[in-house]
Amino acid sequence: MKTTHKCEKCGKEFKEEDFFECLDHEMRHIKPENIVELEGYGINPIQLGYPNRLIVEMSDGNKAIYVLWGLRTNSFQLEEQEKEAASSDPIPFTED
């Protein structure tokens, strides 16, 4: 049986002799480090209490913005908002 190595984040497989290449690959995955800012809070009954935007510092030093398009709960699914979010362009971010 031949040993292979697998990235724990995306599942990419590497040959037995490529162990360190696999480790390097895993380290290149960008991940959230810190929530920098929460902006606004929902005004409709479904989103009430949830922030509208999160600004998150990523492991590569960049900041990512996550926007609340809707909530998926056990009793209610916002399929239209999910479709809208999937088809919209990303919001450009520039630092002040």
All structural domains of the chain with their residue ranges = 1-30, 31-90
pLDDT tens digits, one per residue of 70-94: 777 665 555 555 566 566 665 555 5
53, 66 Cβ separation under 8 angstroms: yes
Query: What is residue 91's DSSP assignment?
Result: P
pLDDT tens digits, one per residue of 34-61: 888 887 776 665 667 788 888 999 988 8
Helix (H, G, I), strand (E, B) or coil at 1: coil
**CA nearest to 58, candidates 85, 13, 88, 28:** 28
- Predicted TM-score (pTM) of the model is 0.51
